[in-house]
Chain A
Amino acid sequence: MNANYMIEINGLRKEYLGGKIVALDNVTTKIGKGEVVVIIGPSGSGKSTLLRSLNRLEEPNAGHIVFDGVDIMDKKTDINLMRRKMGMVFQQFNLFPHMTVLKNMCIAPVKLLKMPKEDAEKKALDLLNRVGLGDRAMAYPSQLSGGQKQRVAIVRALMMNPDVMLFDEPTSALDPEMVGEVLDVMKQLASEGMTMVVVTHEMGFAREVADRVIFMADGAIEEEGKPEEIFTSPQGERTKQFLKSIL
């Protein structure tokens, strides 16, 4: 076991419909501490499934995931404790509509980490200020734009002081003019040394921020490497095809 790795994935397999669909097929890779990994690939290739398997929102059928030295596939592992250390950001934001922005952010640290309410609110306001939403603390999610919602979703995850942040197409549901503001927050996060696993179609972001790009196809890792390698001299036929189709 290497202490430099945040997540080690080994032989991960995920089937749907009793094996009719193999969403992940023997996926093995390691994600280092502070590394920013971008996962790309055609629709249905298993990107979301892989990402969601990391915090066991999807239950893999086989394989191992070791997070921070703990095998989270182990029955004895309390997955709820592990999830606190893994922030997740969804395509559809998934803010809690019945709570204000502040409450959205404070509920988990207050209820789970027993953080005093005042401390949590102070921290939340601090984070909101950093993403330029300091004045929207008392707003309800329905009063925010898409970009604002996603920024709130990111800082909500950060409230738990996660060791890794998982992003599943965080900008896909946004109007084009709002994509930038969310990517900026993610870039800032990356520059602060956060370990990030990002599923995205934003190739610019991948090129600029990623330490490594993983290309997936048919539930398997087809190719992985530094962004410039993947983007400028892809090796596999499918990678070439995919990049050609989206660029």
Chain B
Amino acid sequence: MSSKKLWAIIISVIIVASVIAGMFYAINVSTKAKDIDIQEAETIVNQSFDDMAYTKAMKIVSDTNYITVNSVEYGSEKNVILDCSVKSLDIHSVLSPQYNLFLSAKSDKETGNMKKSSLDFKREFEEKIIELISAAQPVTRNCVIEIFDTHTGYVVYATEEVIDIVFGGWSAVKNEILAAETYTNENGEEVSVEHKNINNGFIQCIDLRYDSAKPDTSNAIGRMWNSLKKDFHRNFIEHDRWEMIMVGLMTTLKLTFFSLIIGIFLGFMVAFVRCTYLKQSKKGILLKFMNGICQVYLTVIRGTPAIVQILIMHYVILLPMGVDKFVSAVICFGINSGAYVAEIVRGGIMSIDEGQTEAGRSLGFGYMATMYHIVFPQAFKAVLPALANEFVVLLKETSIAFTIGVADLMKEVNTIRAATYTPFMPLLAAAVIYLILVVILSKLVSLLERRLRKSER
């Protein structure tokens, strides 16, 4: 082995190794949170629990509670485990006896069968709840609160249990209300809660804003990766959105395939007429007429944008005739690609030596038969790369079919984008899928080409 080669290998191994090492380093620089004292920790937890309460009722609870940090312990996930004592209003004990009141307060019967929105219920409950909460007694309980060292500083990770303790039994109240199926009315009868809006209105009075996901303690690269993962999940896994993409892809492939068949057929027909016209010395009236039609066809199709063609074809011509939009798209792209295929094939036919036609004719083949048996096969082979290129163009071109509502790959991707508000992943998916298809198609054609060439050698 030459020393040059050896060096190249060594250098590339070093580069690859350092890239991998760098990635590991970047993702996992340190697993230990930076040092924090009890005072700081206390400020952080009090502040962030304050921030969680955003309804009037919960503000009152959070104003009166206080968290004292007793000890600090470092975890292995860049987290700090705080042993705390929490003084808080015991809202569970004041609200729990009142469920009946809340649930029965505005049943269908009493509102005269008028549907009330959860907002209406919220307005009616709020006053009452605030009144009750204000009368609650503070209790002190112990709990363990975790805070995580993230890029934005320390972030509290609040589980339901922690929140329940910090806000004096808040979660318990919420869950009980959500689970309640019946209540006892003034006559002591069990009545079922039919109105979900009662629950929702109640929840809205004592709601909290908090992120139930574990805080992201990774660094820039790690966070980017995590957010990509999240995006990916959201756009493809959630609601089985990948199935939409697959269905769209099938539509795109079908559209391309059928358009292609029409395109090749039309292309060969038009090329045949044009070549016959160009070659023949005596031009009959029929031939002149056909050639004229072909000329107009080629000029119009090649002289106007495909998007204009498909819109006119569908909305002006075919839709009024009741043609389905997929069929519309197939017809439009077939006609469109036919024009390009025709010019390619014409070039191919003209490139075949006149001697081939003469040999065919001298054996007794008619003009058509000579074309069919002798010229077309050779022309087809000669133009295969150009045709393949046209097919690739067509595959990409079909992406404008979504303008008339064909549920192709592009349309599905757009739907996902609109649903998730994240353009990156769905559009990237579209690009990647188109790219893969194009690469595979090109590969197949070059294989076929090589086979054909071998057969001639």
Contact = CB atoms under 8 A, between A and B. Distances in A.
A140 B358 contact: no
Contacts of B381: 98
B363 A98 contact: no
B136 interface: no
B97 interface: no
A112 B364 contact: yes
B365 interface: yes
Interface stretch (A81-89, A115-123, A236-244): A81-89
Contacts of B362: 55, 57, 83, 86-88, 157
Interface residues of B, number: 22
Given A140-B456, A142-B457, A157 B355 contact: no
A90 B362 CA distance: 10
A interface majority secondary structure: mixed
A157 B456 CA distance: 22
Contacts of B374: 96
B140 interface: no
A112 B356 CA distance: 17
B283 interface: no
Given A92-B355, A94-B355, A107-B373, A143 B363 contact: no
B365 A143 contact: no
A108 B364 contact: yes
B173 to A, nearest CB: 84
A111 interface: yes
A87 B364 CA distance: 9
A2 interface: no
Given A90-B355, A90-B358, A94-B359, A80 B377 contact: no
B364 A81 contact: yes
B366 interface: yes
A157 B455 contact: no
Contacts of A55: 362
B349 to A, nearest CB: 14
Contact of B363 (A59, A83, A97, A140): A83
Given A95-B359, A140-B457, A157-B362, 7 more contacts: A59-B281, A81-B364, A83-B361, A90-B359, A94-B359, A98-B455, A143-B457
Interface of B: 281, 353, 355-356, 358-366, 369, 373-374, 377-378, 381, 455-457
Closest 3 CB pairs of A and B: A94-B359, A84-B364, A88-B362
23 contacts: A57-B358, A57-B361, A57-B362, A80-B361, A80-B364, A80-B365, A80-B366, A83-B362, A83-B364, A88-B362, A92-B353, A92-B355, A94-B356, A94-B358, A94-B359, A96-B360, A97-B378, A98-B377, A98-B381, A111-B365, A140-B456, A142-B457, A160-B363
